[in-house]
């Protein structure tokens, strides 16, 4: 998608059902446990591998984050992502009670982290070193090749091994990655809706996995000053999670007697012309366009819950605040209670959309959502902004 491009997938309630959830996080190894802990206000802190000076205590202390301790210990890189995604996939398959015969017409779409942080950090390091333009070009070419190889490594290992672990024979045309920030989940949803409405598949597993608590991912966000530290009250706490939602056409769900947990509504993706590190001021324009497109034709007063991934970053809070102000003036949902998944799980990047969906659907199931519809807003440090609607199946 180009900066001017937009994507909207219209999905009337009652056509595409959410029939299963799965999650692995710092708060639990299932969607039920994770969302119940988040609802209760539980947080599970873990010391991270980078230490920061604490002036008040006159010593170095480890950064705090939300790691799935005891579950991902000893795993790094792609292996850690596979561990997280594997647990969440096992959870959704059990929750949805899918049989092997059901998998022949199932799509799988997984959101993974993009390379924005690595790319921007690489550029900033070369600028600080004051290298010549020729050397800078050579270093950038080398760094770009390394990032390309890292993406290829994820592609070769993550989904193929994940599907193999569960004995799932998914056709190549019905599986794909979506690399980027939190809003990549809305792009994956739109792709799933395209295949479902075209009857290419009967159901789609759409998920996300990310980990910012170790290795190069943690180093990048720390060195760029994005992480909360003892000396900085602004920034996010790194987290890690994987989550999946199972989407099915209503007729396919009825054919296997699957219960609808929720109905998926409209999905919209818009893009800004800049990213978090470009120096531009966030005005919430792309997010507003996504919400307007997502909510068009509906009744805004019925959307009594908003989920937005505020994570402690001032840049993101400013953008959401401006967007909410414009939404209110436009008669869009703006005064509803606001849930922020990072408050419970930390910043989980590409997993944010799926985690947010699980929280909303569990809120419907347990009756504490306080609304029959939820609007999920996905802000990101890259250019993409997303929004999608979920409707309580019991209410309809």
Give the pLDDT confidence of 374-392 residue by residue, as tens digits. 999 999 999 999 999 999 9
Considering the domain architecture, whether residues 239 and 285 belong to the same structural domain is answered as no
Q: What is the mean pLDDT of the chain?
A: 90
**Is there a domain that residue 296 lies in?**
yes
Give the residue numbers spanning the domain of 329.
Answer: 7-11+262-392
Max Cα distance, the chain (Å): 66
Overall average pLDDT of the 103-129 stretch: 85
Q: How many domains does the chain have?
A: 2
Residue 1 within any structural domain of the chain: no
pLDDT of residue 102: 83
Confidence of residue 125 (pLDDT cuts 50, 70, 90): low
- The residues with which 175 forms a beta bridge, in sequence order, are 108
Q: What is the CATH number of the domain that holds 235?
A: 3.40.47.10
Q: Decide if pLDDT at 341 tops 90.
A: yes
In 25-174 the beta strands, taken as DSSP E runs, fall at: 46-54, 59-65, 106-113
With a cut of 90, say whether residue 143 has pLDDT above it.
Answer: no
Residue 181 CA: distances (Å) to CA of 18, 277, 309, 346, 347: 23, 14, 11, 14, 11
| pLDDT at site 47 | 94
> Predicted confidence band at 169 (pLDDT cuts at 50, 70, 90)?
confident
**Of 236, 255, 274, which closes a domain?**
255
Q: Average pLDDT for residues 274-285, to the nearest whole number?
A: 91
Q: Which of 191, 221, 255 is the last residue of a domain?
A: 255
Which residue among 228, 255, 282 closes a domain?
255
Q: Is 145 helix (H, G, I), strand (E, B) or coil?
A: helix
DSSP state of 211: E
Phi-psi region of 70 (alpha: psi -120 to 50; beta: other; left: phi over 0): left
192 lies in the same domain as 286: no
Confidence (pTM): 0.93
Q: What is the pLDDT of residues 172-212, one digit of tens each?
A: 889 999 999 999 999 999 999 999 999 999 999 999 999 99
Residue 301 predicted with pLDDT over 60: no
Residue 299: the pLDDT is 61
pLDDT tens digits along 244-271 = 999 999 999 999 999 999 999 999 999 9
CA–CA separation, 112 and 80 (whole Å): 13
Cα 3 to its chain centre, rounded Å, is 20
As beta bridge partners, residue 114 has: none
Q: For residues 86 and 93, what is the distance between their CA atoms, to the nearest angstrom? A: 11
Q: Other CB atoms closer than 10 Å to residue 166's CB: what's the count?
A: 14
């Amino acid at each position: 998608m180009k900066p001017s491009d937009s994507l909207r997938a219209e999905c009337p309630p009652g056509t595409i059902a959410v029939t299963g959830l799965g999650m692995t996080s710092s708060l639990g190894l299932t969607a039920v446990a994770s969302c119940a802990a988040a609802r209760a206000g539980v947080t599970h802190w873990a010391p991270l591998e980078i230490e920061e000076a604490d002036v008040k205590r006159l010593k170095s202390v480890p950064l705090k984050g939300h790691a799935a301790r005891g579950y991902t210990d000893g795993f790094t890189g792609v292996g850690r992502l596979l561990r997280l995604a594997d647990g969440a996939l096992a959870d959704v398959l059990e929750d949805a009670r899918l049989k092997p015969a059901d998998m022949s017409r199932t799509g799988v779409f997984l959101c993974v982290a993009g390379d924005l942080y690595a790319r921007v950090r690489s550029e900033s390091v070369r600028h600080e070193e004051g290298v010549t333009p020729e050397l800078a070009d050579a270093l950038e070419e080398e760094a770009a090749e390394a990032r390309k190889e890292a993406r290829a490594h994820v592609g070769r290992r993550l989904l193929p091994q994940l599907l193999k672990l569960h004995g799932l024979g998914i056709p190549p045309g019905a599986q794909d990655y979506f690399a980027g920030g939190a809003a990549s989940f809305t792009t994956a949803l739109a792709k799933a809706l395209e295949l479902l409405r075209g009857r290419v598949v009967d159901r789609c597993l759409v998920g996300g996995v990310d980990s910012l608590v170790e290795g190069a991912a943690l180093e990048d966000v720390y060195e760029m000053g994005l992480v909360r530290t003892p000396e900085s009250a602004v920034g996010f706490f790194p987290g890690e999670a994987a989550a999946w939602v199972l989407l099915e056409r209503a007729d396919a769900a009825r054919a296997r007697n699957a219960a609808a947990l929720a109905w998926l509504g409209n999905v919209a993706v818009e893009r800004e012309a800049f990213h978090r590190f470009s120096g531009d001021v966030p005005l919430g324009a792309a997010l507003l366009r996504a919400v307007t497109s997502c909510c068009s034709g509906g009744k805004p007063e019925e959307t009594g819950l908003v989920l937005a991934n505020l994570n402690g970053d001032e840049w993101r809070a400013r953008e959401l605040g401006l967007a909410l102000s414009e939404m209110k003036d436009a008669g869009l949902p703006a005064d509803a209670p606001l849930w922020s998944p990072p408050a419970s799980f930390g910043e989980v990047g590409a997993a944010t959309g799926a985690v947010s969906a699980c929280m909303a659907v569990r809120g419907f199931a347990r009756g504490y959502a306080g609304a029959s519809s939820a609007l999920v807003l996905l802000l990101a440090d890259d250019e993409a902004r997303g929004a999608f609607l979920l409707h309580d199946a019991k209410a309809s």
